[in-house]
């Protein structure tokens, strides 16, 4: 099994998709969580990182965490800013922000090409592909106590990753 990431549901060119093994997915989401948690300053930026780390395979199941870039809870009014934020998060992951907290060393020969592909996908993504219901749907889902966004955006003491409703993606994926 693996996970696939596309721009949007109508994105049919499989050569432009990002397909990653389960292990690769775990490492990708963890290094993005490490970087993003250190870079995020606004509540919206922190929400974007929490949305990302919620795709933790330990909780959702292996091969079940792929998504379309259009499903990220973008806002129309700050789309370009949020897009730049994601690029900074990817660049931070390539600078190994927070990697020293991990119990393993991600293989850069494997993970960097994934980050490069994701960066290209974010760069070419346009606002008109945004899933209009993604943000409101995610917030509605978080009203359920089982899936609530942790109040005041706490971070893991060990990894410094923003916590989501099932803890820390770094701790969960040891």
pTM for this predicted structure: 0.92
Q: Which two tokens stand for residue 23?
A: 């292990």
What is the CB neighbour count within 10 angstroms for residue 139? 12
Cα-trace Rg, the chain:
15
- pLDDT tens-digit profile, the chain (174 residues): 688 888 887 877 767 788 898 888 899 999 999 999 999 999 999 999 999 999 877 776 576 677 889 999 999 999 999 999 999 999 999 999 999 999 999 999 999 999 999 999 999 999 999 988 887 887 787 777 777 788 899 999 999 999 998 889 999 987
Give the side-chain half-sphere CA count within 13 A for 103: 6
- Distance between the two ends of the chain, CA-based, in angstroms? 19
């Amino acid at each position: 099994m693996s996970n696939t990431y596309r721009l949007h549901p109508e994105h049919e060119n499989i050569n432009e998709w990002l397909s990653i093994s389960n292990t690769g997915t775990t490492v990708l989401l963890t290094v993005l969580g490490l970087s993003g948690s250190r870079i995020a300053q606004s509540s919206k930026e922190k929400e974007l990182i929490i949305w990302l780390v919620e795709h933790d395979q330990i909780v959702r199941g292996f091969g079940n965490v792929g998504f379309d870039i259009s499903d990220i809870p973008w806002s129309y009014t700050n789309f370009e800013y949020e897009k730049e934020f994601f690029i900074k998060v990817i660049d931070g992951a390539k600078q190994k922000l927070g990697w020293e907290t991990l119990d393993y060393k991600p293989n850069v020969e494997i993970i960097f090409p994934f980050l490069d592909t994701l960066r290209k996908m974010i760069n070419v993504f346009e606002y008109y592909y945004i899933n209009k219901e993604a943000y409101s749907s995610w917030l509605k889902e978080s009203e359920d106590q089982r899936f609530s966004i942790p109040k005041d955006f706490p971070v893991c003491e060990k990894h410094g990753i923003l916590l989501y409703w099932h803890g820390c993606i770094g701790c969960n994926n040891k």
